Amino acid sequence: MGRDEATPEWVQHLAFRVASEEGLLAAKAHIEGQGIDVLGPTHHGIFKSIYFFDPNGHRVELAADIGTKEQYAELKRVAPLMLEEWSTTKKAPRHADWLHQLAREEHGLEG
C-alpha cells in the first residue's frame, strides 16, 4: 500500500498497549534479540513507548500506561473540550500541556 511521502515516517504508525512498563521492556529486549532496531522507551508523560518497523515496513508503537488515576481522569474531563477547540480553531489545544511538562521533567529538560 505504501505510505504518504509528505508525512514524516514517525507519524504514520500502529500503536498497541502492553500491560506494564516491565512488559514493554521485555518486548524491547525480545524485538532487539530478533535483530530489529528499537527506538525508546520514550517518555510521553503518562505512558512510555517503544517504536520499530515490522518486516513490511510499518512503524509499530508499543506503549505502557504509567500515569495515575487522577491524570487519566483529568484527560477524560478535558477531551471533549480539546476536540471542540480543535474543531473550531484547527490549532492544537493547550488543555493537556502538563503532559509535555511531565515528559520534559523525566528527561531533565527545563520549561
What is the predicted pLDDT for the residue at 1?
59
Is 17 found in the same domain as 54? yes
Is 61 found in the same domain as 75? no
Domain count, the chain: 2
Q: How confident is the model at residue 102 (pLDDT cuts 50, 70, 90)?
A: confident
Q: Is residue 5 part of a domain?
A: no
Q: What is the pTM of this model?
A: 0.77
Q: How confident is the model at residue 111 (pLDDT cuts 50, 70, 90)?
A: low
Average pLDDT over residues 45-56: 92
Q: Is residue 4 part of a domain?
A: no
Is 84 found in the same domain as 54? no
**Beta partners for residue 57, in sequence order:** none
Is 61 found in the same domain as 24? yes
Distance, in Å, from the CA atom of 61 to the CA atom of 49, rounded to the nearest integer, reads 6
Domain containing residue 102: 69-106
Is 98 found in the same domain as 75? yes
Backbone φ and ψ of 11, nearest 5°: -80, -40
Whether residue 27 is predicted with pLDDT greater than 60 in this model: the reply is: yes
Per-residue pLDDT tens digits for 57-91: 889 999 999 999 999 999 999 999 999 998 998 88
CATH assignment at residue 42: 3.10.180.10
